[in-house]
C-alpha cells in the first residue's frame, strides 16, 4: 500500500496516467501559457491580458454584442475571409510564375497535376468574391447603425480605405491567371485610368509598366497583389480593430444613452 502511493507521486507515473495535467504543469507549458485556466473571473481576465492573440479583443464586451443581430459579425467575417485568402494564396504561390506565358500554363498544371490545386484556387476565388461582398455590406450596416459618429469618424475613413484596397486586391488578382477573361477585364478596367485628368496616360503606364496589358503589367499586379497591398491591409485592419477596442462597441454607447434618457425621464 505504501509503495503504491509512492508510485503515484512519481513524475513518470503522472505523465503516463494524466498526460494533459502533467503537460500543463511542466515548466515549458507554464512559461509559454502564463495565465491560469479560464474558469474563474480572474483566470478569464488574465487569459485576455496575457495572450497576444486575444489582445485584439477587449477583456469584457457589452452583453448586447453577444447577439448575432447586433453586428451581424460582418467585420469579423471579413477578417476570417482575409485569413483564408492569406493561407490559400500562399499555397497558390508555390506553383505560380508571374511571367508570360508561364502564368497561364501554371494554371493548367495547378488544376490537373497539383494536389488540391483546383480546390485551393476555387477557395481563393470564392473567398475573394465573398470578401468584396461582405466588406460592402459591413459598410452599409455601420452606416445605418450610425456607428461612424463621434468618436469613430476616423475609423470610418480607415474602413473606406480598406474597402478600396479590397477592391484593388480583387482587381490585381483578377489578372494573374492570364487567360482571356483576366486580360480583357483588366484592359477594360485600366482604360479608365487613362482618363485621369493631367496624369492621364502616365497613371495608366505607371500601373501597367507599359502602354498595354503585358508581361510588365502581370509582374506589377503580382507584386502589388501578394506583397504590398496585403501588408498595407494587415496594418490598416489592425488599426481598424484596435480603434474599435479603444472606442468600444457603438452599441454600448447607445445603451448608456438610453439609460440616461430613462433616468432623465424618471427624474
Partner 1 sequence: MPDTEPEGRYRLLGVVPREAQQRETQEPDDTVFTWPHFLIRHAVVAGATVAVVFLLAILFNAPLKDMANPSQTPPVAKAPWYFAGLQELLSHYQPMVAGILMPGAAVLFLFALPYLDRAKGWRIRDRKMIVVVFTVLALAALVLTLIGTLFRGPEWSWVWPWKHLYVEL
Q: Which of residues 97-126 bind partner 1 (CB under 8 A)?
A: 100-101, 104, 107-108, 111, 118-119, 121-126
CB atoms closer than 10 angstroms to residue 7: 10
CA 252/CA 244 separation, integer angstroms: 12
| Shortest Cβ 207–partner 1 spacing (Å) | 14
Contact between 130 and partner 1 by CB under 8 A: the answer reads: yes
| Shortest Cβ 235–partner 1 spacing (Å) | 18
Residues 196-235 touching partner 1, rule: CB under 8 A, are 196-197, 212-214
| Shortest Cβ 7–partner 1 spacing (Å) | 37
Q: Give the residue, chosen from 14, 73, 141, 243, that forms a contact with partner 1 under the rule CB under 8 A.
A: 73
Among residues 183, 88, 92, the alpha carbon closest in space to that of 131 is found at 88
Contact between 156 and partner 1 by CB under 8 A: the answer reads: yes
Residues 22-61 touching partner 1, rule: CB under 8 A, are 38, 41, 44-45, 47-48, 54, 57-61
Q: Give the residue, chosen from 28, 32, 66, 115, that forms a contact with partner 1 under the rule CB under 8 A.
A: 66
Q: Identify the three-state secondary structure at position 197.
A: coil
| Shortest Cβ 223–partner 1 spacing (Å) | 19
Q: What is the DSSP letter of 210?
A: S
- Piece of 15-23, 191-199, 220-228, 234-242 that binds partner 1 (CB under 8 A): 191-199
Please identify, using beta-carbon distances, which residue of 14 and 73 lies nearer to partner 1.
Answer: 73
Contact 226, 90 (CB under 8 A): no
Q: What's the chain's Rg over C-alpha atoms?
A: 26
CA 258/CA 213 separation, integer angstroms: 56
Contact between 81 and partner 1 by CB under 8 A: the answer reads: yes
Q: Identify the three-state secondary structure at position 155.
A: helix
Q: Please give the backbone phi and psi of residue 210, each rounded to the nearest 5 degrees, phi first.
A: 175, -175
CA 37/CA 58 separation, integer angstroms: 18
- Piece of 13-21, 26-34, 187-195, 228-236 that binds partner 1 (CB under 8 A): 187-195
10 Å CB burial of residue 75 (0-12, 13-18, 19+) is buried
| Shortest Cβ 125–partner 1 spacing (Å) | 4
Three-state SS sequence of 207-227: HHCCCCCCHHHHHHHHHHHHH
| Shortest Cβ 152–partner 1 spacing (Å) | 7
Count of positions on this chain that bind partner 1 (CB under 8 A)? 86
Amino acid at each position: 500500500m505504501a509503495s503504491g502511493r509512492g508510485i503515484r507521486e512519481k513524475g513518470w507515473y503522472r505523465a503516463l496516467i494524466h498526460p494533459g495535467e502533467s503537460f500543463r504543469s511542466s515548466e515549458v507549458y507554464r512559461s509559454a501559457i502564463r495565465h491560469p485556466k479560464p474558469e474563474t473571473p480572474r483566470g478569464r481576465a488574465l487569459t485576455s491580458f496575457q495572450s497576444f492573440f486575444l489582445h485584439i479583443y477587449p477583456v469584457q464586451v457589452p452583453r448586447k454584442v453577444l447577439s448575432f443581430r447586433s453586428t451581424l459579425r460582418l467585420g469579423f467575417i471579413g477578417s476570417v475571409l482575409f485569413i483564408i485568402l492569406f493561407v490559400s494564396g500562399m499555397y497558390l504561390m508555390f506553383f505560380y510564375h508571374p511571367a508570360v506565358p508561364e502564368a497561364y500554363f501554371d494554371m493548367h498544371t495547378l488544376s490537373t497535376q497539383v494536389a488540391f490545386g483546383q480546390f485551393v484556387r476555387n477557395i481563393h476565388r470564392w473567398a475573394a468574391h465573398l470578401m468584396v461582398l461582405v466588406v460592402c455590406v459591413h459598410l452599409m450596416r455601420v452606416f445605418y447603425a450610425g456607428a461612424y459618429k463621434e468618436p469613430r469618424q476616423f475609423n470610418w475613413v480607415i474602413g473606406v480605405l480598406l474597402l478600396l484596397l479590397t477592391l484593388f486586391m480583387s482587381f490585381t488578382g483578377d489578372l494573374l491567371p492570364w487567360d482571356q477573361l483576366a486580360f480583357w477585364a483588366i484592359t477594360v478596367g485600366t482604360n479608365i485610368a487613362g482618363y485621369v485628368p493631367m496624369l492621364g496616360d502616365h497613371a495608366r503606364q505607371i500601373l501597367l509598366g507599359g502602354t498595354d496589358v503585358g508581361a510588365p503589367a502581370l509582374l506589377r499586379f503580382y507584386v502589388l497583389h501578394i506583397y504590398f497591398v496585403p501588408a498595407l491591409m494587415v496594418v490598416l485592419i489592425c488599426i481598424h480593430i484596435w480603434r474599435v477596442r479603444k472606442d468600444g462597441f457603438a452599441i454600448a454607447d447607445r445603451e448608456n444613452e438610453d439609460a440616461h434618457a430613462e433616468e432623465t425621464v424618471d427624474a
